């Protein structure tokens, strides 16, 4: 089903599925071709274990949907999609290490350090981050150098100390501390939101877009980035470990501040609906014709059960 | 002292110093401006602690010397110089962690995880890698997009699973195993050599260079990359911890294969001299006029005492 068809339909899960399946297949196939293939044996195995066969691939889908909305270069978008997933995957590998969350279960499987040992898990995460930037900078002229450079800039900012890694550091420092909603939002804006918003921006960077439309896409990315975390906090309380594929209830157990601890369950759910409305309003404001997939992904973020 | 003056002089340490001092000052000043400044407090402190006020800055000096040899863009070279140092610094932070080498002393100071805790050390390393790519992709037109993209490509390859991280993984897997010289060389070609050679290539990427000259510069980089490790192995045996600024004798203690264990001390020293001769011959072969700084750095690599 084309994005154009999607565009004229009201959103429902089946409509998204028709757009998502072929895009997911492309991403899975590309990741399998690109990740860990020529790496030394154990390192390559750990990299592939961390990335393949699991995950919602939300960030890649956001890249691809945003790129389609701006008529982007498909080869660039596929590479950018995979690069965002590699950054996400490396962050999970490092986040699960004993010195961080010390988690043993991820996507229903033993975490990378449980399976390969801490040292190889550490190195696999490091190598995945480097590979993300390698994917963005292929030789040849299929992807213009200006696009390559812009994609690297956006990804580096989203991943670094003023993005994901910075948010994780604030998260670390905030255990047991009473954050207010503004502080909690700022932490999540960096920790989870920066890479989700960055994925939308990277998709947009694969094509051409007016400053106004880009600003609207950034607002969309910010809203779903925050919505993702609010829903994560809700699921941490309401879902079981088997459905989540990771340990449920661990934030509450770790005495971490969450949207649920701050707003209550109903308050958090209302917040998620409001952020969905904000995201959809931003897409309207963008003036872009072909935003059906982005709309559907916003619904997916809020209505997911894992 | 200009590189042109250097070029006509026989090499000696004072001659190198005249070239090195102002370049080092530029690098230190740039690193201080760019590293960890806008990061969340503890993360930024850990990043700056890991990078500032220490280290020989060999990789930055190689970038700057190679860039000068090809008449490179000075702004690009300074950013590339700092980016290589950030990758080196992050690798040391992660390498010192308890799950890797578990080292407590680096450059004469407590290692990052001893000072800031393991979790912040892990995140600081991750953030330094991202920052390296961010430095290479500034907005504006001072550095052409083609240069930015090429620098990112070279750095990602040098740092990743077919470069530094890959070499570290082979190193991990080789403890207590009898490697022959070819296997040891391959491990070090990746673990240490890739980023040193990559530094030379990144410097060359800041300007224009013929394919033949580039090939010669790559050979130079490969030779000093290997020489660096041979000398490291010699110093691990012959120097004390205070001079080294890190724990001496730890490779032998860990039963790691080294050039000294394989070739003996005299054999390793002969190997280092041969690699220096190879590096200097490659510079001759390059046909580039202005290779004095690169020559001096090759001597520095082999004649250093820490």
Query: DSSP string spanning B133-161?
Result: HHHTS-SSSSS-HHHHHHHHHHHHHHHST
Q: Are B156 and A148 in contact (CB < 8 Å)?
A: no
Task: Give the least confident one: A66-80, B138-152, B165-179, B285-299.
Answer: B165-179
Instruction: Report the pLDDT value the prediction gives residue B129, as an integer from 0 to 100.
Output: 98
pLDDT in tens, A229-262: 999 999 989 987 666 666 666 666 666 778 998 9
Chain A positions touching B136 (Cβ under 8 A) are: 152
Instruction: Report the pLDDT value the prediction gives residue B54, as an integer from 0 to 100.
Output: 78
Instruction: Report the pLDDT value the prediction gives residue A181, as an integer from 0 to 100.
Output: 86
Per-window interface: B 163-222 vs A, CB < 8 A? 163, 165-166, 168-170, 172-173
Q: Are A137 and B130 in contact (CB < 8 Å)?
A: no
Instruction: Report the pLDDT value the prediction gives residue A183, as an integer from 0 to 100.
Output: 87
Both structure tokens of A303:
């209505």
Instruction: Report the pLDDT value the prediction gives residue A196, as an integer from 0 to 100.
Output: 98
* DSSP per-residue letters across B41-101: HHHHHHHHHHHSS-S--HHHHHHHHHHHHTT--HHHHHHHHHHHHHHHHHHHHHHTSTTTT
Percent share of chain A, pLDDT over 90: 77
Q: Are A123 and B40 in contact (CB < 8 Å)?
A: no
Chain A positions touching B103 (Cβ under 8 A) are: none
Residue in A42, A137, A168 nearest the CB of B123: A168
Does B114 contact chain A (CB < 8 Å)?
no
Q: Enumerate helices (H) and strands (E) in chain B, giving the number of each.
A: 16, 2
pLDDT in tens, B44-98: 999 999 999 778 999 999 999 999 999 999 999 999 999 999 999 999 999 999 9
Tell whether the model's pLDDT for residue B11 goes beyond 60.
Answer: no
Task: Give the least confident one: A12-26, A44-58, A81-95, B206-220.
Answer: A12-26
Both structure tokens of A208:
């051409």
Residue range A79-95: mean pLDDT, rounded? 98
Other residues' Cβ atoms within 10 Å of the Cβ of residue B207 = 18
pLDDT in tens, A256-306: 778 998 999 999 999 999 999 999 999 999 999 899 999 999 999 998 887
- Tell me what the pLDDT averaged over chain B comes to: 91
Chain B positions touching A123 (Cβ under 8 A) are: 94, 165, 168-169, 172
Q: Are B97 and A130 in contact (CB < 8 Å)?
A: no
Residue range B131-145: mean pLDDT, rounded? 97
Instruction: Report the pLDDT value the prediction gives residue B249, as an integer from 0 to 100.
Output: 65
Instruction: Report the pLDDT value the prediction gives residue A256, as an integer from 0 to 100.
Output: 74
Pairing of strands A109-110, A105-106: antiparallel
Tell whether the model's pLDDT for residue A13 goes beyond 70.
Answer: no
d(Cα B86, Cα B109) in Å, to the nearest integer? Answer: 18
d(Cα B131, Cα B114) in Å, to the nearest integer? Answer: 23
Q: Are B153 and A168 in contact (CB < 8 Å)?
A: no
Percent share of chain B, pLDDT over 90: 77
Q: Are B160 and A38 in contact (CB < 8 Å)?
A: no
Q: Are B153 and A160 in contact (CB < 8 Å)?
A: no
Residue of B203 and B258 predicted with greater confidence = B203
Q: Which of A157, A141, A142, A145 is nearest to A202 (CA)?
A: A157
Residue range B244-250: mean pLDDT, rounded? 64
Residue in A160, A170, A173 nearest the CB of B130: A160
Q: Are B161 and A39 in contact (CB < 8 Å)?
A: yes
Residue range B210-222: mean pLDDT, rounded? 98
Nearest CA in chain A to B150: A137
- Rounded to the nearest 5°, which phi and psi values hold at B132? -55, -45
Residue of B179 and A81 predicted with greater confidence = A81
Q: Are A127 and B100 in contact (CB < 8 Å)?
A: no
Residue of B175 and B99 predicted with greater confidence = B99
pLDDT grade for A6, boundaries at 50, 70 and 90: very low
Tell whether the model's pLDDT for residue B109 goes beyond 80.
Answer: yes
Instruction: Report the pLDDT value the prediction gives residue A241, as an integer from 0 to 100.
Output: 63
Percent share of chain B, pLDDT over 70: 90
Chain B positions touching A40 (Cβ under 8 A) are: 161, 166, 169-170, 173
Does B36 contact chain A (CB < 8 Å)?
yes
Instruction: Report the pLDDT value the prediction gives residue A9, as an integer from 0 to 100.
Output: 46
Nearest CA in chain B to A40: B166
Tell whether the model's pLDDT for residue B220 goes beyond 90.
Answer: yes
Residue range A142-146: mean pLDDT, rounded? 98
A105 three-class SS: strand
Residue in B122, B134, B136 nearest the CB of A97: B122
CA quadruple B187, B190, B196, B201: dihedral sign: positive
Identify the helix (H) or strand (E) that includes residue A72. Answer: none
d(Cα A301, Cα A224) in Å, to the nearest integer? Answer: 7
pLDDT grade for A55, boundaries at 50, 70 and 90: confident
Residue range A164-173: mean pLDDT, rounded? 94
| Strand ranges in A16-146 using DSSP code E only, listed in sequence order | 105-106, 109-110
Both structure tokens of A276:
């969905």
Does A130 contact chain B (CB < 8 Å)?
yes
Tell whether the model's pLDDT for residue B10 goes beyond 60.
Answer: no
pLDDT grade for A8, boundaries at 50, 70 and 90: very low
Q: Are A130 and B165 in contact (CB < 8 Å)?
A: yes
Instruction: Report the pLDDT value the prediction gives residue A252, as an integer from 0 to 100.
Output: 61
Specify whether the CB–CB gap between A207 and A71 falls below 8 A.
yes
* DSSP per-residue letters across A124-177: HHHHHHHHHHHHTS-SSSSS-HHHHHHHHHHHHHHHSTTTHHHHHHHHHHTTTS
Chain A positions touching B166 (Cβ under 8 A) are: 39-40, 43, 127
Both structure tokens of B5:
């003056």
Instruction: Report the pLDDT value the prediction gives residue B41, as an integer from 0 to 100.
Output: 83
Both structure tokens of B190:
């990746």
Complex ipTM tops 0.85: yes
Q: Which of B157, B222, B234, B237 is nearest to B185 (CA)?
A: B222
Q: Which of A150, A164, A172, A196 is nearest to A257 (CA)?
A: A172
Instruction: Report the pLDDT value the prediction gives residue A70, as an integer from 0 to 100.
Output: 97
Instruction: Report the pLDDT value the prediction gives residue A5, as an integer from 0 to 100.
Output: 41
Instruction: Report the pLDDT value the prediction gives residue A304, as an integer from 0 to 100.
Output: 87
Nearest CA in chain B to A118: B99
- What domains appear along chain A, each with residue ranges and CATH number? 3-303 (1.10.600.10)
Instruction: Report the pLDDT value the prediction gives residue B163, as an integer from 0 to 100.
Output: 97
pLDDT in tens, A171-207: 999 877 888 888 889 999 999 999 999 999 999 999 9
d(Cα B67, Cα B204) in Å, to the nearest integer? Answer: 5
Torsion of CA A115, A119, A122, A126, to 10 degrees: -120
Nearest CA in chain A to B99: A119
Residue range A84-105: mean pLDDT, rounded? 96
Instruction: Report the pLDDT value the prediction gives residue B284, as an integer from 0 to 100.
Output: 97
Tell whether the model's pLDDT for residue A4 goes beyond 70.
Answer: no
Does A152 contact chain B (CB < 8 Å)?
yes
Percent share of chain A, pLDDT over 70: 90
Give Dmax (Cα) for chain B: 53
- Tell me what the pLDDT averaged over chain A comes to: 91
């Amino acid at each position: 089903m084309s994005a154009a068809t999607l565009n004229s339909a009201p959103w429902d899960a089946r409509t998204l599925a028709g757009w998502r399946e072929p895009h997911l297949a492309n991403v899975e196939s590309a990741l399998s071709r690109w990740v860990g293939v020529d790496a030394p044996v154990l390192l390559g195995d750990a990299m592939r274990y961390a990335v393949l066969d699991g995950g919602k691939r939300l960030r890649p889908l956001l890249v691809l949907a945003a790129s389609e909305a701006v008529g982007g270069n498909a080869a660039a978008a596929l590479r950018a999609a995979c690069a965002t997933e590699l950054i996400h995957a490396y962050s999970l590998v490092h986040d699960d290490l004993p010195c961080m969350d010390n988690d043993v279960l991820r996507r229903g499987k033993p975490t990378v350090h449980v399976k390969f040992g801490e040292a190889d898990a550490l190195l696999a995460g490091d190598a995945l981050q480097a590979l993300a930037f390698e994917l963005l900078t292929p030789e040849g002229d299929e992807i213009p150098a200006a696009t390559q450079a812009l994609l690297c800039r956006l990804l580096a900012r989203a991943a670094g100390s003023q993005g994901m890694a910075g948010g994780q550091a604030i998260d670390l420092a905030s255990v047991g501390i009473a954050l207010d909603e503004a502080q909690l939002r700022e932490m999540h804006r960096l920790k989870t939101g920066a890479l989700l918003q960055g994925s939308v921006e990277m998709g947009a960077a694969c094509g051409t877009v007016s400053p106004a439309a880009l600003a609207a896409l950034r607002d969309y990315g910010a809203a779903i980035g925050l919505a993702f975390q609010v829903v994560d906090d809700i699921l941490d309380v309401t879902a079981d470990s088997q459905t989540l594929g990771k340990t449920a209830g661990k934030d509450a157990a770790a005495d971490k501040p969450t949207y649920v601890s701050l707003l209550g369950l109903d308050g958090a759910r209302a917040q998620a609906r409001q952020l969905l409305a904000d995201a959809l309003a931003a897409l309207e404001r963008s003036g872009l014709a072909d935003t059906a997939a982005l709309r559907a992904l916003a619904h997916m973020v809020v209505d997911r059960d894992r």
